Chains A and B, each alone.
Chain A
Amino acid sequence: MNSYETIIGLEVHVELSTASKVFCGCSTRFGEKPNTNCCPVCMGIPGALPVLNKKVVEYAVSTGLALNCTITKECMFDRKNYFYPDLPKAYQISQRYSPIARNGSIVINTNKGEKAIGINEIHIEEDAGKLIHDADNNITLVDYNRSGVPLIEIVSEPDMRSSEEVLAYLDKLRMIIRYLGVSDCKMQEGSMRVDINLSVRKAGAKVLGTRTEIKNLNSLRAIARAIEGESKRQIDILESGGSIIQETRRWDDSANESQRLRSKEEAQDYRYFPEPDLAPLAVSDEMIDRLRLLLPEFREERIERYQKEYGLSYYDATVLTSSKKIADIFEEATRLCNMPKEVSNWLMVEGMRILKEKEIDPWDMCLTPNRLSDLILMIEQGKINRTQAKEVFEKAFLEDIDPKAYIEKHGLGMISDLDTIIMTARRVIDENPQSVSDFKRGKTKAFGYLVGQTMKAMQGRADPKAVNEVLQNLLK
């Protein structure tokens, strides 16, 4: 069998997290009652006109700058015309002829090392509504809450060669966008959507093969599987003497295969033309300079700073900055408790463990910097032991609870009451006459056993030092 090379380019739709929609003042909030965040503009009522949300332009320009793009200073919007019930105007306002940003690139890391992936363009567009199929009653309903939510589409060059590279690219893209704060990039909520363009060619060939576009990819895992599946499908066709048809395919993750959606011939002609309801958009040098200055400190810069400022290892700094959310918690909690190593340990060991075990997105963790700092200070002050602190940490990581209140409510704090310790120690002494006599005969090991038993009886919530002293006194 010949060896083949897979060529992949991505189209990534990212929902911007502006408070209002791209062409009207309606809220963009996710998960509201259907058709409550709508107005004549986003419902396409005749005569209503779009007005561009300036924040969307700023977010898109910032993204363009962060992805090392050239910003288009004279921008236009265009109409993409097609019929579908979730598209109330029967056209989507997009940018066909002059996207807001072009010619960028980002560097990804895989185990093969660093690689630059080109960004062809970024354009602004509006999201469509959502169809809800009610199979029981055989009807379809439309929710227009999402109609008009701002999107940017980031189109990469066909620079990726494997699913590892694709995942690294998406990871990097998501990281940058989250560091920018322009989107939460949640695939499961649809605020980040990925389409794959994929072709294969014989290793060493110069010309690109015929590509297919794959849609309906709902998770990173589905993306990886779709890439493997589609590469194999195309190679099998070529190996058996067939040829690839340019078409759009739909990935069925449960069946682990793609199905044909439409061929190139069936593809719609979107009859693009400049949107006459919007004036041309001028992006000034001042705006670009201002936004460039406002770009946040990205991961690479933080990794360097964390090593210098907090004396962390390169590895620790890398893990802590893998999500802006965790990095922000680290910095703020450190500022509050002034114990960078402690904060880092908790996040690195316990935090990462929970993320992995529960398979959650760092974006969704509940832990706040002051809660983490509180918890660390309580350990430091001997108010709670580490075992129980771990339990509280996990709770506060996953749920909106205040560690202090939680510890009090559940009696998890250290028992500092001397009488309680003495009472327990006496009971242990009474129950273990053998150990007591062993100890009195000079077997120091037996004393350790008694301390252990007392600690155990107090669920570890006593200060071992105090237990030691009490036992020594009682056995004198």
Chain B
Amino acid sequence: MKEITSMSAIAISEKIRNRELSVEEVVKAQLETIKKREPLYNCYITIMEKEAFEQAKSVQRKIDSGEFTDSPLAGVPVAIKDNICTGGVRTTCASKMLENFIPNYDATVIDRLRDAGAILIGKVNLDEFAMGGTTKTSYFGITRNPWNPEHTPGGSSGGSSAAVASEEAFLSLGSDTGGSIRQPAAYCGIVGMKPTYGTVSRYGLIPLASSLDQIGPLTRNVSDCAAALEVISGYDPKDSTSFNINKYSYRNSLKSDVKGMKIGVPKIYLEESLNDDIRSCFMKALKTFEDMGAIIEIFDMDEIRCSVQAYYVIACAEASSNLSRYDGILYGFMAEGYEGLDELYKKSRGEGFGYEVKRRIILGAHMLISDNYETYYNKARKIRNIISRAYAKAFEKYDVLLSPESLNTAPRLDDDNSQKKKEFRSEILNASVNLAGIPAMSIPCGTDKKGMPIGLQLIGNKFDEASILRAAYSFEQTKPYMRPSAIEDNLER
């Protein structure tokens, strides 16, 4: 038998339901893998060993009494990005500010995972407050890429992607504000989806930018992705921005058939300074779709040219407000030795937040002051509307849009420029999707010369996750999941 932790989520869950494996065996195997590989990769901030075994017992009981017959995640260990609230388990946002913050409630997605019998195995690393694309801004140390530990796993859901690729979790939840699920998924050679805004409840997700954030799954294949999305999605009365539409059976869209599917490729994406390997890999992917019977068309969509600028204004503005509550009063880090309220605020926030967080708070606050409101925030909102309309227009014509997921493969951890210039440009491929609130996913489509994985981005119309899942699933049949060959070897280096 294949190593337990190398199997896909739905495969392991089937084995559990067929009583080939007990939930406890799976949890034990998972924790063993974590303990073995964690010293190198550092995916986790908190490992929920005790809770996982307790859950295993109760889930096993329910399975034994005939429950969870159609629950694709029953008994499956899942890693949770550490900006999603878990009642009774600390939720740090990878920040000193929340190092000891223990929420008194569960996020809705956590409720849904529990209800589906999934096992919460731990809380994984991220860029501090999800600000960044490398997971290097975490207060809890860097996370390494399982394909090559000298490289970043991406970010901000870097712990989520590395945990799934290093088999320290069967799947994970991440959050995506401007590519934070898709980019690390691409860097780690796995599948990552950002659903339509409003599909998955944000209740309990510690916000970065409320109008852009969306929780989504990171998995090793498209079927796991569909299964996880099915579990976590659906209307939540506790989130006013969640959509009240019927729960969708995403697993039904897993059909290998793209015959006649109209696929658009925005020209602007090809004009970016794509790395040569990525460009050729992307062209090959287009060819694959064509060979399967899809119709590919390159078209103009210049409206999204300013998406990165608009994205930064909105994301920083909302973040500056969302992060104001960390003032050292009710919870979180409280500085010592202050005189008066102002100093308490200044010291707590000054010492509790890292550089990147402070940079964005200052930028965001600056853009929101009344003299600047029209110049920045309101203009960004207008650009956002233009982008949304451009996508809506494109989807009148196309079923799915394709682009490379990033301009480069995962940079080396010591590459300081990776964060600044390139990340900014890479976000052009991602951020416009969040601004438009539409769904997109990244799936592996090859590797570069150095053997680092390359991601392919599939973008869908609002609430049409079905089309991108179908396209992704079809493509996956031609290119099955590749395990990072060196996961074990890395440990010996």
Interface residues in chain A, defined as those with a beta carbon under 8 Å from any beta carbon in chain B: 40, 43-52, 79, 81, 83, 85, 88-91, 142, 269-273, 276-279
Contacts and interface: CB of A to CB of B under 8 A. Distances in A.
B256 interface: no
Query: What is the predominant secondary structure among interface residues of chain B facing chain A?
Result: loop
A49 B238 contact: yes
Interface string B214-255: 000000000000000000000001111100000000000000
B341 interface: yes
B211 A46 contact: no
B206 A50 contact: no
A276 B206 CA distance: 14
B91, B107, B203, B329: residue with the most chain A Cβ atoms closer than 10 Å: B329
Nearest to B205: A47
Nearest to A271: B368
A47 B109 CA distance: 12
Nearest to B129: A46
Interface string B334-362: 00000001000100000000000000000
A45 B103 contact: yes
B381 to A, nearest CB: 8
Interface stretch (B72-80, B148-156, B317-325): B317-325
Given A51-B240, A83-B345, 11 more contacts: A40-B105, A44-B330, A47-B202, A48-B203, A49-B203, A88-B325, A90-B324, A90-B327, A272-B370, A273-B317, A279-B241
A20 to B, nearest CB: 14
A51 B237 contact: yes
B204 A89 contact: no
A403 to B, nearest CB: 49
B369 interface: yes
B210 interface: yes
A51 B204 CA distance: 14
A14 B317 CA distance: 31
A81 B321 contact: yes
B202, B238, B325, B345: residue with the most chain A Cβ atoms closer than 10 Å: B325
Query: What is the predominant secondary structure among interface residues of chain A facing chain B?
Result: loop
Contact of B321 (A85, A269, A271): A271
B210 A276 contact: yes
Contact of A47 (B203, B330, B368, B369): B203
23 contacts: A44-B325, A45-B85, A45-B331, A46-B85, A46-B98, A46-B207, A47-B204, A49-B202, A49-B203, A49-B239, A49-B240, A51-B239, A81-B365, A88-B325, A89-B324, A90-B324, A90-B325, A271-B320, A271-B321, A271-B365, A271-B368, A277-B207, A279-B241
Nearest to B332: A46
B324 A47 contact: no
Interface string B88-131: 00010100001001011101000000000000000000000000
B137 to A, nearest CB: 18
B241 to A, nearest CB: 6
Contacts of B473: none
B269 interface: no
Nearest to A44: B325
B282 interface: no
Given A85-B329, A273-B321, A45 B368 contact: no
Nearest to A79: B321
Contacts of B84: 47
B213 to A, nearest CB: 9
B330 A43 contact: yes
A46, A49, A273: residue with the most chain B Cβ atoms closer than 10 Å: A46
Given A47-B207, A271-B368, A89 B238 contact: no
B364 to A, nearest CB: 9
Contacts of B241: 49, 276-279
Given A40-B104, A83-B327, A88-B325, A46 B206 contact: yes
B329 A91 contact: no
A343 B103 CA distance: 58
Contacts of B105: 40, 45, 48
Contacts of A271: 320-321, 365, 368-370
Nearest 6 interchain pairs by C-beta:
A90-B324, A271-B368, A276-B211, A276-B210, A46-B206, A47-B204
A88 B369 CA distance: 21
A307 B228 CA distance: 71
Nearest to A24: B238
Contacts of B330: 43-44, 88, 142
Nearest to B368: A271
A50, A85, A273, A279: residue with the most chain B Cβ atoms closer than 10 Å: A273
Interface of B: 84-85, 91, 93, 98, 101, 103-105, 107, 202-207, 209-211, 237-241, 317-318, 320-321, 324-325, 327, 329-331, 341, 345, 365, 368-370, 373, 377
Contacts of B331: 45
B85, B210, B239, B240: residue with the most chain A Cβ atoms closer than 10 Å: B240
Contacts of B91: 46-47
A86 to B, nearest CB: 9
Nearest to B239: A49
Contacts of B324: 81, 83, 89-91
B369 A269 contact: yes
Contacts of A83: 324, 327, 345
Contacts of B237: 51
B333 to A, nearest CB: 13
A151 to B, nearest CB: 19
B252 to A, nearest CB: 29
Contacts of A46: 85, 91, 93, 98, 101, 103, 206-207, 325
A391 B355 CA distance: 74
Contacts of B370: 269-272
Nearest to B204: A47
A47 B239 contact: no
B240 A278 contact: yes
A44 B210 CA distance: 15
Nearest to B101: A46
A47 B373 contact: no
Contacts of B203: 47-49
A279 B238 CA distance: 12
B205, B237, B368: residue with the most chain A Cβ atoms closer than 10 Å: B368
B238 A51 contact: yes
A47 B107 contact: yes
B104 A273 contact: no
A324 B209 CA distance: 47
Contacts of A278: 240-241
A91 B321 contact: yes
Given A90-B324, A90-B327, A277 B210 contact: yes
Given A43-B330, A47-B206, A81-B321, A273 B211 contact: no
A203 B493 CA distance: 89
B206 A273 contact: no
Contacts of A85: 327, 329, 341
Contact of A50 (B240, B320, B329, B345): B240
Contacts of A51: 237-240
Contacts of A91: 321, 324
Contacts of A279: 240-241
A102 to B, nearest CB: 21
Contacts of B341: 85
A365 to B, nearest CB: 40
Given A89-B325, A91-B321, A273 B240 contact: no
Nearest to A41: B238
A43, A52, A89, A269: residue with the most chain B Cβ atoms closer than 10 Å: A269
A310 B411 CA distance: 88
B93 to A, nearest CB: 8
Given A90-B324, A273-B368, A47 B85 contact: yes
Nearest to B349: A83
A24 to B, nearest CB: 9
Nearest to B236: A49
Nearest to B381: A274
A43, A47, A278, A279: residue with the most chain B Cβ atoms closer than 10 Å: A47
